[in-house]
Amino acid sequence: MKNGLEDVIAAETQLSDVDGEAGRLIIRGISLDHLAGSSTYEDVAALLLDGLIEPHLDASELRRRLGQARMEVFAEVKTADTRLLKLPPVDAMRALVARLPDGEDIDTVLRLLAAPAVFLPAVLRLQRGEKPVKPNLGLSQSTDILRMLSGAVPSAEQTAALDTYLVTISDHGLNASTFASRVIASTRAGLTSSVLAAISALKGPLHGGAPGPVLDMLDGIGSEANADPWLRSALDRGERLMGFGHRVYRVRDPRADALKNALKPLVAAGQVNAARIALAEAVEQAALAVLRERKPDRSLDVNVEFYTALLLESLGFSREAFTGVFAIGRTVGWIAHAREQALEGRLIRPRSVYVGPLPEAA
């Protein structure tokens, strides 16, 4: 038995393939290298969902219907309980998603794709003491998310960077949150239930909760000269370096480069803190050297969370919001997997080995 189920095949999927040895991610037959930077969120959402909800889903039609869905779910924000606002943003967002009706149809799907995109910016604004910004149904999902967050229409570079982020993290094989989504789908509970379970799995620090701590680490390090001693003493204390290591990748996570590239136009346009990026690059190099020395039998490299942290910070998200933004992008993957499971799979019901005491013989 394997404690973390590694190498156990628990599903057949046509959605994505993670090649941990080659460092390659394929989404519905297309390499991430081709998708990231040239596709919008709607392009990849349509690609992932095609044939799973309706016979054919067109990206421009999806964009139009998503705009309407954002307007529809915004009604929930107006009735948000003030107690929700004391919760971490991802928990408040999850609580609002939990109010949506369950179902398997296209309207449920559109609501679920729109809901995190509307709820997270609204929660963040309310927590800052600002009024939520109403969605604009004519905009793309990425443009509208940034507009609902800041109140201003974002630059073309900012929209493109968020699109690249949402595309890059849209699906990733049978990770913990996607597995949770499929388990729920196998019981036929409905897509809202699947998404709620997946958000709950995602928020853990070993899964989607890592990028906030990446920035804590950069703040703690402070300067390029301090990187090596700081990283060594963190490892001496038995800590893990956030943004490094992966269960499947034995080489560099391809998503890290997609996100690093997405930062370049923002740097060129002077829309990010260039000193922050330079510090991150120095920390990355120092961490790789220290990890190679300290863990020579594990190939630990940078993972998606490292450059996620820098990208999302550059787009104006606070670090507490990062897991929620991850959920905005991954919801389409969770839904696609849940549909695949419901259409083709059986109830997921593995077995455990009992190692406790046996009753005394009578």
Q: Assess contact for 162 and 142: CB atoms under 8 A.
A: yes
Does 245 engage in binding with ligand ACO (CB under 6 A)? Answer: yes
Does 243 engage in binding with ligand ACO (CB under 6 A)? Answer: yes
Instruction: Give least dist CB 24 to ligand ACO, A.
Output: 16
Does 252 engage in binding with ligand ACO (CB under 6 A)? Answer: no
Does 298 engage in binding with ligand ACO (CB under 6 A)? Answer: yes
37-96 residues in contact with ligand ACO (CB under 6 A) are none
Reference 170, options 330, 303, 307; nearest CA is 330
Reference 205, options 169, 173, 176, 242; nearest CA is 242
Q: Which of 42, 157, 305, 340 is catalytic?
A: 305
Q: Which is nearer to ligand ACO, 134 or 294 (CB)?
A: 294
301-330 residues in contact with ligand ACO (CB under 6 A) are 303-305
Q: Which of 42, 72, 104, 246 is catalytic?
A: 246
Instruction: Give least dist CB 316 to ligand ACO, A.
Output: 22
Stretch of 36-44, 108-116, 130-138, 297-305 contacting ligand ACO, by CB under 6 A = 297-305
Distance between CA 351 and CA 333 in Å, rounded? 27
- The site that binds ligand ACO (CB under 6 A) totals a number of residues, namely 19
Does 265 engage in binding with ligand ACO (CB under 6 A)? Answer: no
Listed in sequence order, the residues at least 6 apart from 55 whose beta carbon sits closer than 8 Å to its beta carbon are none
In the shown chain, the binding pattern of residues 202 to 241 toward ligand ACO, with x for contact by CB under 6 A and - for none, equals: ----xxx-x-----------------------------xx
Using CB under 6 A, pick the residue from 244, 307, 317, 322 that binds ligand ACO: 244
- 34 in active site: no
Q: Which is nearer to ligand ACO, 118 or 304 (CB)?
A: 304
- 281 in active site: no
Q: Which is nearer to ligand ACO, 127 or 331 (CB)?
A: 331
Instruction: Give least dist CB 303 to ligand ACO, A.
Output: 4
Q: Which is nearer to ligand ACO, 69 or 280 (CB)?
A: 280
Reference 302, options 317, 276, 283, 318; nearest CA is 283
The catalytic residue positions are 246, 305
Q: Which residues bind ligand ACO (CB under 6 A)?
A: 4, 206-208, 210, 240-247, 295, 298, 300, 303-305
